[in-house]
Amino acid sequence: MQDKRTSLREAIATIPDGAVLALGGNTIHRGPGAAVHEIVRQRKSGLKIVKTAGAYDIDLLCATGCAAVVSAGYVGYESVLGLAPSYRRAVETGLVRADEHACYTVIAGLRATIQGVPFMPVAGLTGSDLPDARGFQWVSDPYSGEQVVAIPPIAPDVAIVHVHEADRFGNAVIHGTRFEDVLMVQAAKRVILTAERVVDGAGFAEHPDTTTISSLYVTDVVEAPGGAWPFGCAGLYEPDLAFLQEFVAASAGEDAIAAFVAERLLEAAPA
């Protein structure tokens, strides 16, 4: 089997400008923080971000001009810090296009890609403005005649997921909630894993039932201890609320956020 270990810098360098990029984790939990910081350092642009519920990752990519389109059901810091100010400003000023979703319509789009079908039917949007706002089409169930919404496929060019452990081949385990990460991995053309630690693959071979992600889908493996920060990583560390609060406060103005990013992120590039 191929050894897929590489550096964070090399892995992120393979992401082209304008790529459809799926980001794992959910709100302030187990997002790929180190990878997102490296995207900013490499000044990627035109990215089309896919996530059910984003927070700091989407907010930062919008603040730094890396994102062009966001397909998400929610972007904010839960009840802890409220909505995402840089994302909101970027959308309101036209710098970023918000392709509005419900969280489940993102999931449905990923599943359509995985299953190789032209759309995934979704019930439960009756009375919602979302189908009209997005141009999602209603179709008739050929068996019952019931009207359901047809969600088109979402096919990420790249998915980045942070995991607890991975081996050098790309088998990986996530402890705790997996969110939509496995779906993103299965739907994406390429997958970058950042891992708290890279371990001997013998454990995965002995207990395949505990393996969350198969090496079959993975392109790159990066060992990145603390690689979710400032997101939390279940069982290891909590979200860094003090840092996130500083970031949100700085996001009140474009000059302030630019200075914050330059000082706290761009000058802190990994060796």
Domains of the chain: 8-117+153-268 (3.40.1080.10), 118-152 (no CATH)
**Cβ neighbours of 90 (radius 10 Å):** 24
**Per mean pLDDT, which range of 72-76, 149-153, 156-160, 254-258 is the poorest?**
254-258
| pLDDT given for residue 268 in this prediction | 54
pLDDT tens by residue, 205-259: 888 888 999 999 999 999 999 999 999 999 999 999 999 999 999 998 888 999 9
* pLDDT reading at 264 higher than 90: no
Q: For residues 261 and 162, give the distance between their C-alpha atoms in angstroms, rounded to a whole number.
A: 22
